[in-house]
Amino acid sequence: MMNILRTAAYVFSATLFPSLVWAQEAVVAPVTDSMPAAPLMAETAHATAPEAAHHGGLPQFDPTSWPSQIFWLVLFFAILYVFFSRKALPAIGQTVQNRKDHIQKNLDEAAKLSAESARIKSLYEQSLKEASSRAALAVKDAGDAGKAKLAAGLADFRTRAESEIAAAESRIEQSKDNVLSDINRIAAEIASEAAEKIAGIRADTSQAETVVRTIRAKAKAA
């Protein structure tokens, strides 16, 4: 059985690469002498060797071998297409879609927090305007003592309002930082999984996240 397989491999090599078979004739001859079907295969190799010598150059440029080369090339790319279309690409697409949905959810939450901050700021400005109007009327009616008291109350109100605004802005900035951190982590996971799916290389997620942060920092600086 092994002799038959070797003989078939030899004939296949002689068909695709006649120059290679012709160059290895001295090595193959002792093996083929011990096989029953070897003389016929050796004659095939001898018949293709002068043809390769006649054409010269690389055997893949020999027009007589183009049909077989095209066949195996088409078969190889067909196998690659089937593999990527049924295995790798759907998995990568699903991962990207999941990460995209997660990022969109975080962005929506950040937009809600930003809208809430704008609302609080608007209320603060409106309240400050109303308080200023009331303070002006009270100051006009109450005199110097009332002016001092109202000014102190207004200052206290401004301080408390500014403190609340600062706290709200701090929470918003913290939320933005968390969202950006999640985006960096998700981008690192996508890059790591894409590298594993396409190239078979498992990248360290922390290193990938560091690279993403560096790129984002450079883009922000530019």
**Sequence spans of domains, the chain:** 2-73, 108-221
Give CB contacts under 8 A, 24+ apart, made by 72-80: 72/16
Alpha helix positions (H), 17-88: 18-23, 25-33, 38-55, 66-83
Residue type, 216: R
Phi, psi of 191 (to 5 degrees): -65, -40
Residue 46 has pLDDT above 70, yes or no: no
Residue 20 has pLDDT above 60, yes or no: no
Residue 7 has pLDDT above 70, yes or no: no
Most trustworthy range by pLDDT among 47-56, 99-108, 174-183, 208-217:
99-108
Average pLDDT for residues 179-183, to the nearest whole number? 79
- pLDDT reported for residue 57: 60
Most trustworthy range by pLDDT among 55-59, 88-92, 100-104, 194-198:
100-104
Residue 33 to residue 28: CA distance in whole angstroms = 9
Average pLDDT for residues 45-61, to the nearest whole number? 53
144 or 101: which leads in pLDDT = 101
pTM of this structure = 0.28
204 or 74: which leads in pLDDT = 74
CA 31 to each of CA 35, 36, 48: distance values in angstroms, whole numbers, following the listed order:
7, 11, 19
Average pLDDT for residues 117-122, to the nearest whole number? 87
17 or 78: which leads in pLDDT = 78
- pLDDT reported for residue 207: 67
Residue 61 to residue 172: CA distance in whole angstroms = 66
